[in-house]
Amino acid sequence: MLDRLVESLGPDYVLSGRGEPTPFQAAAANATTQPTAAHQQAVQHLERNIEVSAPRKSNIISVQCQANSPALAQKITARLVEIYLDEHVRIQQTAGSHQSFVDQTQLSKTMSQAAASRFEQEKDKLGIAAIDGKKQQIQGEITDLDAKLLANRSDLKTAEARIASLQKQIESLPETLVTQESQAPNAAFDNMRGTLLQLESREQELASTRSDNHPQLVAVRQQLKDLRTPLHEQPSQRAQATQAVNPSRQALELSLLNEQSQAAAFRGREKALVAQTARLRGDLKQLNAQEASLGQLEQEVELAEGRHKAYADNLEQARINRSLDDERISSLTVVQPATYPTSPSGPRRAYVFALDLIVASLSGLGAALIAAYLQPVLTTRIELERLWDLPLVGVLPRLERRMAAAS
């Protein structure tokens, strides 16, 4: 910046204030001309006379300059601030950043749309809008089915208990009841009696013509013997009873059938509820297995959207910087322009006079001491004899000041 300052104002103007400075123009980043000896001398002069400081815990930069005249110091300070602002704008630029951000923003937008499309296709294939909503729906259905299954099992146990009670009651009751009894001839007795009469008649006929050992007679007698025993046991009259179905047992059997049908319905409902619960649990397990892939797709969508937003923000910032660069606008602000001092800041006359007096005194004393050292004064008789190698005729005594004053 000091090189640009010297190029802008000129070496003669910086060193002595002669000539007129040219108007400020934005210079190139790198100088192409070879600096002269006067240019280098002006830069060294500026390095010695320009002071830049920044107070602690502050974002203010203070610039001070000393020159041969107040106007020259003000001009140098103002031109240095202009060069600093121009250099700050140049450094903040990024070559090719705008077009790079445009390309990256378009690419990130395409990737974000592709990730969102894959995520939506996967959700459409699974037939869900959101993983959490689908899981809550399935878990709610499973909870309802568990409650229904618990109630159904309770009803089934109640029905089975009623069935056991009805079966015990039915077993304790007869199937039929006698409603009417009547006496009637015993047909079996009559038949057996007719057969006995015939056999007796046959026995008499054979006994009259055959001997006792005749086989036919023996056989007839044996038949008579076998028939007389059951005939004596068979009553001549037989009681007939009219029976009907037991109505109490019939009512209990109807109740039993009803309870059995209800129990069968409860068992069937239990199987259906168990199958439905198993299906929902399978769907939930499959959904949990697919949640990882959907979560990864959703994370890819979020990352793609985040990258696109970041590139879009950078692109907008690049556009702002580009507009600022076109208008030569800097983020720095000049708090106070270079002031024009009404009087020179130095040197002070009193200090200069005192310094001159001290230097003159020391110079005189030093000159006397050097002269005395180079040409020493003879103060004793021995020094005089040694210098001239001659004897002394006489010596005048040194008078003290008080004695001289008294005389």
Task: Give the domain CATH number at 283.
Answer: 1.10.287.1490
Q: Provide the 8-state DSSP code for 234.
A: S
Is residue 342 assigned to a domain? no
Pairing outcome for strands 237-245 and 50-53: unpaired
Range in 1-15, 206-220, 275-289 with the lowest mean pLDDT: 206-220
Confirm whether 159 is domain-assigned: yes
pTM for the predicted model, two decimal places: 0.34
- Residue 18's φ and ψ, nearest 5 degrees, are -85, 150
Residues near 4 by beta carbon (within 8 Å), at least 6 away in sequence: 27, 31, 83, 87
At residue 69, φ and ψ (nearest 5 deg) are -140, 155
Whether 95 and 255 have beta carbons less than 8 Å apart is answered as no
Q: Is position 338 within any domain?
A: no
Residue 344's pLDDT band, with cuts at 50, 70 and 90, is low
Lowest-pLDDT range, 49-63, 123-137, 232-246?
A: 232-246
Domain boundary, last residue among 194, 218, 244: 244
Helices and strands per DSSP (H, E), number in the chain: 12, 4
Residue 340 lies in a domain: no
Structural domain tally of the chain? 4
Could you tell me the residue range of the domain that residue 198 belongs to?
Answer: 178-244
In a domain, 343, yes or no: no
Q: What pLDDT band is residue 360 in, cutting at 50, 70 and 90? A: very high
The answer to whether residues 81 and 6 belong to one domain is yes
Same domain, 275 and 194: no
Mean pLDDT of 118-123: 72
Is 277 within 8 Å of 139 (Cβ atoms)?
no
Same domain, 148 and 189: no
Least confident of 134-143, 204-213, 346-355: 204-213
Measured distance between the N- and C-terminal CA atoms of the chain, rounded to whole angstroms: 80
Q: Is the pLDDT of residue 352 over 80?
A: yes
Q: Is the pLDDT of residue 29 over 50?
A: no
> Cα torsion for 12, 18, 22, 27, to the nearest 10°?
20
CA–CA dist 104, 107 (Å, integer): 5
Report the alpha-carbon distance of residue 68 to residue 346 in Å, rounded.
10
How far apart are the C-alpha atoms of 133 and 403, rounded to whole Å? 128
